[in-house]
Amino acid sequence: MNGVDLIREARSLRPNLPVMLITGYADLTDDMDDIVLLHKPFQVAELVSNLHELLGASHDR
C-alpha cells in the first residue's frame, strides 16, 4: 500500500478527511483534486503554508 492507496482507504471511512501528501514522486489522480500536495524537497515555509491551508479548509467543512 502506498500513500495514495492509504488516502483512498481513509477517505472511504471519512470522506471529508483533510489530507496532505508529502512525496518525492507521486502524481495525484483526478479524484484527489482536493488534497494538498507537497513535493520533496520543500522549505519549512511551504510546509507551514500548506498546513494553514489544510487546517483552514478543514475548519470550513
pLDDT band at 59 (very low <50, low <70, confident <90, very high): low
Tens digits of per-residue pLDDT, 10-57?
A: 999 999 999 999 988 767 667 778 888 899 999 999 999 999 988 886
- pTM of the shown model: 0.74
DSSP assignment, residue 28? -
Query: What type of residue is 55?
Result: L
Q: What is the CA radius of gyration of the chain?
A: 12
Domain boundaries defined on the chain: 3-60
The Cα angle at residue 35 between residues 1 and 44, in degrees rounded to 5:
95
**Cα(39)–Cα(1) distance, integer angstroms:** 19
